[in-house]
Structure 1
Amino acid sequence: MKRILLALAAVLLAGLTACSPPVLEAPVVTESPVVTESPSATASSAAPEASAQAKSEAPEPKAEQGPAAGTALEQLATIEVKGRAPKTGYSREQFGKGWKDPDRNGCDARNDVLQRDLDHTVLKTGGCVVTSGLLADPFTAATIEFVRGNTTSSAVQIDHVVALSDGWQKGAQQLAPNQREAFANDPLNLLAVDGPTNGDKSDSDAATWLPPNKAFRCEYVALQTAVKAKYGLWMTKAERDAIMSILSTSCPDQPVPAGGGAAVPAAVAPAPAPKPAPVKEAPAKAPAGGNVFYQNCTAVKQAGAAPIKAGDPGWDTKFDRDGDGVGCES
């Protein structure tokens, strides 16, 4: 019975095994799995590359450049800045008496400037004196008729761009007399202008007065700068700042005016002429009358020796005009 049961169990087990489905094995993956990065990680890795590229493509910052060569701004940088000196000792005569003829053309500086700045000038017959003309006034932009005369000449005046008094207080005291005279007659420092407006200017510098005609201000301050550079004069800080403001904002390329170069050198006193060597007179020949010597008959008479005879002390044949052996008879 026991054997029969074992045989049945074996048959049942074999049947169950035959009916079970086969077990499939999962394929073996040999490649590495794909890892998906987060957006923040991607952006973080790309940012340094983009930053480096932008840096390489950005233009290099330009070095700050100074004023262009040959400009009034460049020349302004050479002017010394100091305080105003006292006006003590100033007079017009410190700059020479009257108008001079610096270019030696036969005309004084005033008439040279009138001929330069006026149109339709008429000259005095046989000379260079301007008797009439028309001025396009740089200070006011007005047209002014000039007629020479006691009551009319003042309508057009010759302005010292750098006033003589202003120059005196800013270094001209130390100039040699010939340099101050050149400063007062230099065409660079002279302008024909409207008389009343010139009176308003007086001896002001750029810190306290500028031409009403704004279109002329760049040229005006460039002239002032050139004159002060030429003669080694200084500016106050307020004056320099006023000129700097005009040039830098309105006309940074304003050129240095013609004639704004080297200053007139100081006159060199001529070396004293060497004293002539003393002339040694030849010793006088001893007269025939011994060691006594008379210069002339007057001396003979003053000595009480007249008439003097041959052989007397001091005798000389020059006293005997008639050859009779007796001299200084009369």
Structure 2
Amino acid sequence: MTVSWGAYRRARRRSRQAWAVLVLLAVSLVASGVWFFTAGQFAAAEPAVAGPSEVPVFDGTFMKPVVPVKPVPQGSALAALEGLAVKGRAPKDNYQREAFGQAWLDVDRNGCDTRNDILRRDLTAVVFTEGSTCRVASGAIHEPYIGQAVEFRRGSESSKEIQIDHVVALGDAWQKGAQGLTSKQRQSFANDPLNLIAADGPANQQKSAGDAATWLPKNKNFRCHYVARQISVKASYSLWVTQPEKDAMKRVLDSCPDQETITAG
């Protein structure tokens, strides 16, 4: 079979083009491999989580201070942690939510219950229900525990997406000194803005009554503030920590040794 010179040249051209494509693919694969085995594998293993590194405590435009057992110690969170007593857990079989008073009281007597105060403090673009200057109907939040933007809408089901978390859980507090507080002090503890954060509902449910040894926010950028806030609350209400809890707190604060305690200021 005779092949013309033109057909031969076209075949050669197609062959060179095919080889060029293969070379480009090989170069791309090599480059991808170099990236993965240097920085890429770490980026894949540790996805960046955006979100706030701290959350406000007090807004004097509509909130009034809650009186704790004693003031939060000023200065280093690590130093405050060293000032906390270390003990084992007390029994929990006699724990009842009612020991901390009725849920979401207006303890600062500003005319709004605590839950709405915290929603108003932590959300942006807040809209109140019609005829109210207190009851939050909707808003937006850059949620601190998971580091994602979340919309809040009041409703029988939708309200569960954003819950108000006790930074030091009531059940944890009960086992670490709160049984020795007065009823009024426990009521203040449960409604103190220092101990409350608007948070992702599923994350809050996962945390339950856990301490730093058993649960930390997924958003690593927030952990220093979160642990410092737990320390501040425990110091302010004369609560103690367990040894595993203290160890977990120290591990977090090792990454931010200049972290200070959290106060209303």
Partner of 1:206: 212
- Find the counterpart in structure 2 of residue 45 from structure 1: none
Amino acid at match of 1:88: D
Identity of aligned residues (%): 57
Q: Tell me which residue corresponds to 1:107.
A: 112
Distance 1:221 1:259 in 2: 16
TM-score, with length taken from structure 2: 0.70
- Asked if 1:252 is matched to 2:257, the reply is yes
- Counterpart AA for 1:148: R
Q: Structure 1 residue aligned with 2:147, among 134, 141, 160? A: 141
For residues 246 and 196 of structure 2, what CA distance do their matches in structure 1 show? 21
Of the three residues 67, 88, 99, the one matched with 1:83 is 88
Q: CA deviation at 1:103?
A: 2.0
CA RMSD of aligned residues (A): 1.1
Could you tell me which residue of structure 1 aligns to residue 202 of structure 2?
A: 196
Q: TM-score, normalised by structure 1?
A: 0.57
Q: Show CA shifts across 1:210-243 (max 9, x none).
A: 0000000000000000000000000000000110
**Distance (whole Å) between structure 1 residues aligned to residue 97 and residue 229 of structure 2:** 21
Q: Which runs of 4+ in 1 moved over 3 A?
A: none
- Give 1:75's aligned amino acid: A
Post-superposition Cα deviations, 1:233-287, rounded to whole Å, max 9, x if no partner, equal 000000001101111x211111111139xxxxxxxxxxxxxxxxxxxxxxxxxxx
- Counterpart-to-counterpart distance in 2, 1:205 and 1:82: 14
Runs of at least 5 residues in structure 2 that lack an aligned partner in the other structure: 1-73
State how far apart, in whole Å, the 2-side matches of 1:218 and 1:163 are: 18
How many residues of Structure 1 are paired with residues of Structure 2 in the alignment?
A: 191
> Pairwise mapping of residues 47-196 of structure 1 onto structure 2 (< 5 A)?
70-124=75-129, 125-196=131-202
State the secondary structure of the residue aligned to 1:250. Answer: coil
CA distance in 1, matches of 2:261, 2:191: 19
**In structure 2, how many angstroms separate the alpha carbons of the residues matched to 1:230 and 1:136?**
27
Greater Cα radius of gyration, structure 1 or 2? 1
Measure, in 1, the Cα distance between the counterparts of 2:86 and 2:184. Answer: 25
**Once the 2 structures are TM-superposed, how far is the Cα of residue 162 of structure 1 from its aligned partner?**
0.3
1 or 2 for the larger relative contact order (CA 8 Å, sep ≥6)? 2
